[in-house]
Structure 1
Amino acid sequence: MNCDRISELPDSLVNQILSYLPTKDSVKTSVLSKRWEFLWLRVPVLDLKVSNFPEENYASFIYNFLEFNRNSRMRKFKLKYDQYTYDDDRLAGWVVTTVDRGIQYLDANGFETDMCVREFMPQNIYKSNTLVSLVLVTVGIENPEFVVSLPSLKKMHLEDVWYWDDPLVIEKVISGCPVLEDLVLIRAIDFCNLDDLGFLRVRSQTLKSFRLTFEYSMAGTYFSVEIDAPRLEYLNFNDNQSDMIVVKNLNSLSMIDIDTEFSVKFGGSPLEPEDLRKRDIIRDFLTGISCVRHMNISQRTLEVLYRYSKLGPIPKFNNLYRLQAAFSRSMLSFLLVFLESCPNLEYLILDFAVSTEPEQDGLTYVPQCLLSSLKCVEIRELIMGEETGKKLVRYFLENSVVLQKLIMRFKDSSIANQDSYIFKELRTFTKRSRSCEVIIH
């Protein structure tokens, strides 16, 4: 006997289940039975993509939904436009309405009719006792005319947003978020030189996770960023535009993803010995994150640090136990220099890139971590028969005293057919750690 358990649930619980679906899917349940016909209208969530509606129908749909729930508190309002959407200026009005009704989750993904147009958000987003999560994409925000008060906001995601009137607008907003834990700032490509955010200061006593992406600008402006967050545990730093980078009080930092060139321009003579200011910025940044335990670092960042190492020492990362690094064969000797700054490293993942640049000499020096702590090495993107990768495998096997596992991941998906050949070569290598297991993928 078939049993319809969902129909036995009370309306309040069904509405809660429907709230996890996009609105277009919850509307479809209206055809199930008479009972379900209007249940979706009572769901305290509006989650729409404008592209799902023909022409202007989405506007009347939103108006009718908000009118039906005039006396109800909404939990979530999510609206996404796309590049083919008809241009209008109604988004700000809907944001005003939902914020005034005590919204908890606001996700507004705006639109642009050309590269120099954004719809600016209303000022009431700066004063909400109920907002827990604020996601704004492809819109503009203005300088608040009053003290920001967002006492419940824990997550803020600002992507492709224009900041108008005041370069300190982000600092003002963060100062009004006493429980903020998760912050994402993805800077727009400013083709029109309208972004007024030359100085970015992120100062928070509660922030635990911060992602900054700032890849490209045409403004020709001097940019600077300052991060002061004593409870920050995770930092994703992808900033290739800021000339000045300052980090303070990152004593709780556990994990970092770094992909930055520190605004060093390659070609010519980057990082000249007399460029003391740039040297000090890089040194202070590395010192400021030196308590980190898990680091992912890009190839272009390592290339800058290689040039920096000719001007000054790499600070010690005494707490670092896991490192993932992308590098090419031209960076082999510096890789060992960097590992010397990680005396307690246990896990090393290397994303190996074959380049046309000449191989560096110098797989001779043995860092401290190979002699005392390194337990697992994983080398990815290996190519069958490529000599530099082979040298690297031999180096770690012959010099790692406590190594328990060495993992080789080849690009060629048919490498399984070559296992016998690879193992035949491996038998010619001396293993410093006899208990080391070699795994091939």
Structure 2
Amino acid sequence: MDCNNINELPDYLLTQMLSYLPTKDSVRTSVLSKRWERLWLMVPVIDLNVNHFPLNGQAFASFIDKFLEFNASENLSINHKSRLQKFKIKYNEFINYGDRLGELLGTMVDRKVEHLDVEADMMPSIRDFMPHDIYKSKTLVFLKLVRVGLVNPRLVVSLPCLKTMHLENNFYCVDGPLVMENLISDCPVLEDLTFVRTIDRNNVEFLVFLRVRSRSLKRFRYTFANDRGGTDFSVEIDAPRLEFMSFKDNQSDRIVVNNLSSLLTIDMDTKFNVEIGGSPLRLGSFNKRNTIRHFLTSISSVRHMIISKRTMEVLDRYLKLAPLPQFGNLYRLQAAFPNSLLQLLPVFLENFQNLKSLILELSFSTHPVQIKLRYVPHCLSSTLERVEIKGMIIEEETWKTLAGYFLENSAVLKKLILHFKDSVISNHDVDIFKEIRTFTKWSPNCQIIIHYNLIAVQCMTLLL
């Protein structure tokens, strides 16, 4: 369509097009012609950043009042009055509007908004707590609250349509645990939850206990990583329909997970409040060992698992005291291994007897480590088809040991992928290709692929 004919489009198409622009750019179109003067007021998406307004707050207040007045005018149809789909605001304490912010958000909920996104940057105070209207919206499908106050509404939470909720770095009163438990458990169709737990700027714990109970939740991303230490924090998760969980918690001493038999994927980055490099877990550390054992047993049905370096370091210490549970359904494992723990690898892999794909992300200490891998776990001789090893260094002998180990002991291996961190290939380095060709391969059809990091670009340099 000729750009000169854009005015021939109906209002609903033009406003839908404007909804993909930041609101400040949508408003600028009002100068194009008489017809465009009010189109921005009918856009179903409002995305505001108060930093785009003068600091005294008057311009922001005037903008909001004009928008609300227009959308409440009697000459608009009933359908138009309820057409606002998304309201997003980024707010800070330097704009003189804080006393009206709660009222504004309550009004948006009353206007039947479906997508509400609030990000504030203010010191905690009672005026910053969210209005009670938010807890009883009949239309909200998406709710994101960042650095705002959540207070117990002292009424039954009713969010019958809410499917996605993102709560990040918020602050609470003394009843914070009850607020969160009610808010999560009383959303009957909630499927996707992101929760970033924090300690406030004055190091006051607003939420020392978190309980996540949901019969509908399918995806859960949880982060609590202030590294403050201590044993005051705890988290409980009970979600029988959960399929994906990202669990990143360095703070909680008490971790309880139940009813996770539906879990398919877990991204695990936790040290279970065990000090890495400190005294080892001892026989008397029953509570700590029991916490780790119960957590691992509860997630043992997963099919895909990602393990961070610090979690591997804790598991190394745990394995000195007790075995891991069997992960009989796991087919894909991605683990960050320090080279100092590679001796543990065969025993560790014995717990994944049906493993098909393995990704190892290596990290090297300043002191070279000699490893000898003799034990062959069940998955190597029966199921393992793909191995990818990242972070290798040519000068380190480790890569030869690992490559030889998998090639010589993997009966059904189809592909071995080796990633080298080195950025320069010398003539001497080409010798590694000749050396790899001398390795014995139990699986004759296995392809060996080598990648170099050349000028920060991954390049495949050899296919055997």
TM-score above 0.5, yes or no:
yes
Q: Which residue of 2 aligns with 1:38?
A: 38
Counterpart Cα distance in 2 of 1:12 and 1:192: 49
Change (3 A) 1:84 1:3: closer
Q: Which residue of 2 aligns with 1:234?
A: 244
Range with greater deviation from structure 2 (426-435 or 55-64)? 55-64
Matched ranges for 1:82-161 at <5 A:
88-113=98-123, 119-161=128-170
Pairing 1:173–2:183 present: yes
The one-letter code of the counterpart of 1:28 is R
Counterpart Cα distance in 2 of 1:350 and 1:42: 52
Q: Is the 8 A contact 1:15 1:43 kept in 2?
A: yes
The one-letter code of the counterpart of 1:198 is V
Q: Which residue of 2 aligns with 1:11?
A: 11
Q: 3-state SS of the aligned residue for 1:14?
A: helix
Counterpart Cα distance in 1 of 2:134 and 2:98: 20
The one-letter code of the counterpart of 1:67 is E
Change (3 A) 1:3 1:41: closer
The one-letter code of the counterpart of 1:10 is P
Change (3 A) 1:219 1:351: closer
Deviation track 1:134-177 (CA, whole Å, cap 9, x = no partner) reads 10001110012111100011111100011223122111111220
Identity %: 59
Counterpart Cα distance in 2 of 1:342 and 1:384: 29
Pick one of 285, 293, 299 that aligns with 1:283.
293
The one-letter code of the counterpart of 2:169 is D
Q: 3-state SS of the aligned residue for 1:90?
A: helix
Counterpart Cα distance in 2 of 1:391 and 1:146: 63
Counterpart Cα distance in 2 of 1:103 and 1:382: 51
Structure 2, unpaired ranges of 5+ = 74-80, 452-464
Range with greater deviation from structure 2 (387-396 or 177-186)? 387-396
Q: Is the 8 A contact 1:228 1:249 kept in 2?
A: yes
Q: Which residue of 2 aligns with 1:61?
A: 63
Counterpart Cα distance in 1 of 2:359 and 2:263: 20
Q: 3-state SS of the aligned residue for 2:431?
A: helix
Q: Is the 8 A contact 1:143 1:165 kept in 2?
A: no
Range with greater deviation from structure 2 (278-287 or 410-419)? 410-419
Q: Which residue of 1 aligns with 2:78?
A: none
Structure 1, unpaired ranges of 5+ = none
Q: Is the 8 A contact 2:29 2:40 kept in 1?
A: yes
Q: Which residue of 2 aligns with 1:52?
A: 52
Q: 3-state SS of the aligned residue for 1:47?
A: strand
Q: Which residue of 1 aligns with 2:442?
A: 432
The one-letter code of the counterpart of 2:110 is D
Pairing 1:377–2:387 present: yes
Change (3 A) 1:298 1:217: closer
Q: Is the 8 A contact 2:387 2:416 kept in 1?
A: yes
Matched ranges for 1:162-241 at <5 A:
162-166=171-175, 167-216=177-226, 220=230, 222-241=232-251
Q: Which residue of 2 aligns with 1:335?
A: 345
Change (3 A) 1:175 1:361: same
Q: Which residue of 2 aligns with 1:350?
A: 360
Q: Which residue of 1 aligns with 2:421?
A: 411
Q: CA deviation at 1:358?
A: 5.5
Deviation track 1:162-197 (CA, whole Å, cap 9, x = no partner) reads 122312211111122000000111012334354342
Deviation track 1:92-121 (CA, whole Å, cap 9, x = no partner) reads 2211111121111111101124x8898211
Q: 3-state SS of the aligned residue for 2:289?
A: helix
CA-atom RMSD in angstroms: 2.3
Q: Is the 8 A contact 1:191 1:218 kept in 2?
A: no
Give the TM-score normalised by structure 2: 0.89
Q: CA deviation at 1:360?
A: 6.0
Deviation track 1:316-349 (CA, whole Å, cap 9, x = no partner) reads 1111111111111101022222211111111111
Q: Which residue of 1 aligns with 2:461?
A: none
Aligned positions, number: 440
Change (3 A) 1:267 1:409: closer
Counterpart Cα distance in 1 of 2:36 and 2:328: 60
